[in-house]
Structures are given as structure tokens and as C-alpha cells.
Structure 1
């Protein structure tokens, strides 16, 4: 098992779920809010984040095209549907990350173009992309006067997350 990857993707899933939990009871005016320098509204950003995560997972699985039933951008399925998607894709990414042994080349087709991309690119992009767009949502929430949830990796480790391996402060 690759514990480094597993920890990265455990944090990714935890952060997605915490953010979605925080957004679940927000009124429409907050879900429809945006801020300069962010992707778009809270709704659009959450849908985009998880749609992209599904596309990265599809490529990691070796599919040349995303599945036909993939989460679509441009329509908001609701927080409950996003939570289901986040759980399914997050668990699958953790499984693939834990089992990764080589940086094989993945062949994908997007927009009529063919690409050959190392597996590590999809793993890195899923983490970077998720972090970026979760930060966008937190920025919007802050500008709306709402305290966003703590979703950074330090907060994850302080709570021990699902690993049970919370870091300890040294007494020296």
C-alpha cells in the first residue's frame, strides 16, 4: 500500500465532505454568490470540482472517455447528489492511489483530441484542482460573512481523520 498517496486522498475526501456538509444548509443567495478571482458561484464551483474529479478518476481507471453518466457541469444536482458523488469518487481515488505502483501512460480522448499522459499527472491534478476550488468556495463564504469549515491538511491531522494517526506535538 502506498501510504503517502492514501493519506493525500484521505484528506481530499475528508475536505470535500466537510465543505459539502457546511454548504448543505446554506440559503440560495449564498449558494448563488461568487467572488472576484474564483471559479464562479458556490454551486458552480462545487459541481465543477466534483465533475472534474470524476473525469480524473475515469482517466486513472484507463477509460479513454468519461462515462456517459458522469456528473455534468452547468446544472446543479443538489448538495446531496454532490455528497454521494464525492464519497464514491473519493473512495475510488483512495483505492487507486493506495495501489499505484508505476507511472504508466494513460491514453485519453477529449474534445476530439488524443492525449498520452502519465498517471502521476492525474493524481497530482486531482489533489491540486480540489484544493484550489475548495479554497474558492471558502473565499466566497468568507465574503458572505460565513465562517468556512477548516479543511486544510493540518485540521485533518488534528482530527485524525479516518487514519487514526493524528499528529502529536513534541514535548521537547
Structure 2
């Protein structure tokens, strides 16, 4: 079996869906709590996380779902977030298998130049960072998320 970048994106999708499953059980008060050092509330962080994933996919494909999450100002709900997470997650898996990651991208209206593999790295890093922030927000409220790390992923496969 060949392993590589697609495995990272398979893990990322698994962790995102598991996070959504856990957060869906929270109260409005728990979802809206904030603290210094995190992006925002759980709801805001989830919207940002999946809006960004759509943006990473757009960098490769030039397309995004309509309307893009980044244009929405209210929480779309867990069913829609799960649908969006699956779309962007599966697209990133396919991209990591099929695209030339050495191609040069000109992002931010052409003002920022980087190779495609940088966008792939950012997508993975960004997901881990914000899942960790949500875990911090919840742990400060006495709520423990299921394992979202590589060990949890490994254990879920057996």
C-alpha cells in the first residue's frame, strides 16, 4: 500500500467529522463560549474552519459551493457543515492524489505567490490548529472531546 499526502487528508476529514459529531451534542451556551487566545466561539471557529477548507479547494479548482461559507454571517447548522466538510475533505483527498503540487499559485488577487504544496500543508495545519482551539474552549468548560489526534485515528481503524 502506498502512503503519503492523501493519508493526511483522510485523517483531516475523519477528525473534522468526529469534531462535528461531538459539537452537535453541545448546548447553545457551550457553542457560544469564547476565551482569549482562540479564534472565537465554537460556532465561529467551525464556520471559519470549513470556509477556509473551501478556499483551499478553490485554490486548486477555481470552484466553490454556492454560497461560499465565507460569505455567510450566521451559523448554517451541523447538517450543512457536515455536508460542506465532506465535500471539501473529499476534494482535498482527490487533489492530493491527482494534482501537481509543484505548480505555482498566485493567491490573494495575485499578490501572494506560493507552490501548491504550501496550500496543502496550510490546509492540514489550519485544521489541526482550530480543532485544538475548540478542544481548549471545551476543556475550559469541563467538556472533553473524543480523541482527534493520530492515535485516535489509528484506533478508529481497528
User: Do both proteins adopt the same fold according to a TM-score greater than 0.5, normalized to the shorter chain?
Assistant: yes
In structure 1, distance between residues paired with 2:65 and 2:7: 27
Alignment of 1:138-153 (within 5 A): 138-153=135-150
Which of the pair has more CA radius of gyration?
1
Question: Who is 1:89 aligned against?
Answer: 88
The alignment covers a number of residue pairs equal to 157
Q: Would the aligned equivalents of 2:12 and 2:89 in 1 still touch at CA under 8 Å?
A: yes
User: Residues 102 and 134 of structure 1: is their aligned pair in 2 closer, same or farther, counting only changes over 3 Å?
Assistant: closer
Q: Give me the TM-score of the superposition, normalised by structure 2.
A: 0.90
SS at match of 2:76: coil
Aligned residue in 2 for 1:100:
99
CA RMSD between the two structures: 2.0
Structure 2, gaps ≥5 residues long: none
Matches within 5 A, 1:1-172: 3-61=3-61, 63=62, 69-72=67-70, 74-108=73-107, 110=108, 114-160=111-157
More moved, 97-106 vs 49-58: 97-106
Distance 1:2 1:114, change over 3 A: farther
After TM superposition, give the deviation of residue 153 of structure 1 in Å. 1.0
Which sections of structure 1, spanning at least 5 residues, go unmatched?
161-165, 167-172
Structure with greater helix percent: 2
